[in-house]
């Protein structure tokens, strides 16, 4: 495996980051997870835009332009000759000292990893999964805007630990007002009386790229949709429920906290959206030229 590290491709075993890097010490940085489907980087522009927006919000200047970052990512995928893969794009504050002052970090660290990923077994798309509500509340916007996709994922890590203790493989996170925000690594949708609904970003949800793709699909078809505040009562009484995410795609949910959702199997709207997304994922994005010479943009 070839890893992009600060302007160079290096073997996996040689990809080393300083122990003084503030991404390692404090979770000070941003990241993106991007899928490659048959050589197509799904919604690449949207992922790059979100990366740079997250970096701007934490006052982190990425040492590559968005176009250079895109070219570096395409080159890394091509160098690894993977047609179906998961990309982890990471930008940390870079090496500094043991203090928290980011001004002590001379240069950000840029890493691009291209590997395989399977988050949910294929059979779960046929039968759905059960969720458990976690006791860990989503960090409120007054403390840290959840739309920033930062390296500090401890809030989500503690929530998934809680969900797994309850016997679930994914957990529902509520905000401090007790309303549904999102899941630990996915956005959440319900269908009720023909309406597709998902919590607004300002309720504590990350603006997922797959979430946006599903809303786009719904708006272009005859599926009525809205971003709506909701509580657990709404989840429990939904006709359908599903998750969206880069890894999850569209994952049906058939139970929440022991309450059966709808008929206890993936609903028609869920199946329809999953099929539409699977058609879209090889069309909407950037194609990799695997035969072109690998050219990496330089980092000053």
127 noted as active-site residue: no
Rounded Cα–Cα distance for residues 75 and 296 (Å): 7
When pLDDT is averaged across residues 104-133 and rounded to a whole number, the result is 93
Cα-Cα end-to-end distance for the chain: 25
Query: What tokens were used for 192?
Result: 């009720």
Q: Is 278 helix (H, G, I), strand (E, B) or coil?
A: helix
Quick: pLDDT tens for 26-49: 999 999 999 999 999 999 999 999
pLDDT band at 292 (very low <50, low <70, confident <90, very high): confident
Continuous H helices in the chain:
22-26, 44-57, 66-80, 124-127, 154-165, 209-220, 232-236, 268-280
Q: What whole-number distance in Å separates Cα of residue 194 and Cα of residue 214? A: 15
Structure tokens at 146: 């959840």
Task: Note the pLDDT of residue 106.
Answer: 92
Which domains does the chain show, CATH number per domain? 2-117 (3.30.470.10), 124-280 (3.20.10.10)
Does residue 298 surpass a pLDDT of 80?
no
User: What is the distance between the alpha carbons of residues 107 and 118, in angstroms, rounded to a whole number?
Assistant: 33
Return the pLDDT at 14. Answer: 94
Question: What pLDDT sits at residue 120?
Answer: 85
- pTM for the full predicted model: 0.93
Which pLDDT band holds residue 297 (cuts at 50, 70, 90)?
A: confident
- Residue 300: what pLDDT? 66
Q: Helices H, strands E: what count in the chain?
A: 8, 16
Please write the tens of the pLDDT for every residue from 45-71. Answer: 999 999 999 999 999 999 999 999 999
**Average of per-residue pLDDT across 118-140:** 93
Query: Is the model's pLDDT at 286 over the cut of 90?
Result: no
Among 33, 94, 89, 87, smallest CA distance to 58 is for 94
- Contact (Cβ atoms closer than 8 angstroms) between residue 244 and residue 208: yes
User: CA 86, 250, 247: angle at the middle one, nearest 5?
Assistant: 20
Residue 118 has pLDDT above 80, yes or no: no
73-90: pLDDT as tens digits: 999 999 999 999 999 999
- How far apart CA 284 and CA 275 sit, in angstroms, is 15
> How many Cα atoms are found within 13 Å in the side-chain-facing hemisphere of 235?
31
pLDDT digits 0-9 by tens, 163-217: 999 999 999 999 999 999 999 999 999 999 999 999 999 999 999 999 999 999 9
* Integer Cα distance of 276 and 269 in angstroms: 11
Place of tokens 């990350």: 206
Q: Which of 8, 149, 164, 283 is catalytic?
A: 149
Find the helix or strand (DSSP H, E) in which 12 lies. none
pLDDT at 126 over 70: yes
- Using one digit for the tens of pLDDT, what is the confidence trace for 217-275? 999 998 999 999 999 999 999 999 999 999 899 999 999 999 999 999 999 999 999 99
Structure tokens at 232: 């657990």
b/e for 156-180, b at 16 or more Cβ within 10 A?
beebbebbeeeebbbbbbbbeeebb
* pLDDT attached to residue 149: 96
Residues composing the chain: 300
What's residue 293's pLDDT?
81
């Amino acid at each position: 495996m070839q890893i992009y590290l600060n302007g160079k491709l290096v073997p996996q075993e040689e990809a080393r980051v300083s122990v003084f890097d503030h991404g390692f010490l404090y979770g000070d940085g941003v990241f993106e997870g991007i899928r490659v489907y048959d050589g197509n980087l799904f919604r690449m522009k949207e992922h790059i835009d979100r990366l740079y927006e997250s970096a701007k919000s934490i006052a982190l200047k990425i040492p590559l332009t968005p176009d250079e970052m895109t070219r570096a990512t395409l080159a890394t995928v091509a160098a690894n000759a993977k047609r179906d893969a998961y990309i982890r794009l990471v930008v940390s504050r870079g090496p500094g000292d043991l203090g928290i002052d980011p001004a002590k970090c001379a240069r950000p660290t840029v890493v691009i990893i291209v590997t395989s990923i399977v988050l949910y077994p294929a059979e779960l798309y046929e039968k759905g999964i059960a969720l458990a509500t976690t006791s860990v509340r989503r960090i409120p916007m007054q403390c840290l805007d959840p739309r920033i996709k930062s390296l500090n994922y401890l809030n989500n890590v503690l929530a998934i630990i809680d969900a797994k203790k309850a016997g679930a493989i994914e957990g529902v996170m509520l905000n401090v007002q007790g309303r549904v925000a999102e899941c630990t690594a996915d956005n959440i949708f319900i269908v009720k009386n023909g309406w597709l609904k998902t919590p607004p970003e300002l309720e504590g949800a990350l603006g997922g790229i797959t979430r946006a793709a599903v809303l786009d699909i719904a708006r272009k078809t005859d599926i009525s949709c809205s971003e709506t505040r909701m509580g657990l009562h709404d989840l429990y009484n939904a006709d359908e429920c599903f998750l969206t995410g880069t890894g999850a795609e569209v994952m049906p949910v058939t139970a929440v906290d022991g309450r059966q959702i709808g008929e206890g199997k993936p609903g028609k709207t869920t199946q329809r959206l999953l099929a539409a997304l699977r058609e879209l994922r090889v069309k909407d994005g950037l194609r990799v030229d695997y035969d072109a010479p690998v050219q990496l943009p330089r980092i000053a």
